[in-house]
Each structure stands twice: as structure tokens, then as C-alpha cells.
Amino acid sequence: MTVLLRNTFKAWIDRAPGALPRLVMIGDVRVPTDGWQARLTKRSPQGINPKILILDVSAQQPGGDAQDAITTIPLRYEESPPQDEYGQVMIATGKGEIVVRIGGHH
């Protein structure tokens, strides 16, 4: 089971000179054993509010034996250029969700 580490999630628009604007979303999930893989994927279709980007956490348990060691996995999602003027990002797992406001420069 993946657990979203709420305080680790941050989102911002990177407006570096000479490059297209880029939405960056980072955060961590905790899993019960080593060997897991996790990533953020854009939900399709998105929700009814175009200003809220919805990302799903997809996680795969390891095949075979894994050590019981609570493990933290860093996640990152980038979209360049952002498909809309997002104000928030919702990160969802099968067990819950969190919403993060998009900040300015990071």
C-alpha cells in the first residue's frame, strides 16, 4: 500500500529564461517493502475543472521476495508547456488524495 507523504508535495511553474514554461510536481510516497516502483501519470480524462491537474500515483509491488523495510520513493511529474493555466494539482491513489497549490518559482 502506498502512502502519500503530504508535506513533501510541491508544484510550481518553472519560467526559466529562454525555455518554455514547465509545470513541475514533486513529492514522496512511502511503501511497506523495498523493490516497489512508483510514478505519477496524468489522469485521462481529466476532471471537470480544467484549472486542477489530476495525477494518479501508479505503484507496482515487487515480484518475489522483498525485505520488510519501509521505503520512500521520490516522484516527479513535468509538463512543458503546461496544457492549461492550472492553479492546483490533485494527486490521487486508490486510498486517498491530496491537493497542492501551484506556486511560483522554485
* pLDDT tens-digit profile, the chain (106 residues): 789 999 999 999 999 899 999 999 999 999 988 889 999 999 999 989 999 999 999 999 888 777 888 899 999 999 998 888 899 999 999 888 999 999 855 4
Q: Which three cell numbers stand for residue 30?
A: 512511502
> What pLDDT score was predicted for residue 56?
96
pLDDT in the model for residue 73: 95
Cα separation, 103 vs 87, whole angstroms? 8
Residue 104's pLDDT is what? 59
Tell me what pLDDT residue 84 has.
86
Q: Beta-strand (E) ranges in 2-87?
A: 3-14, 22-31, 37-42, 52-60, 71-79
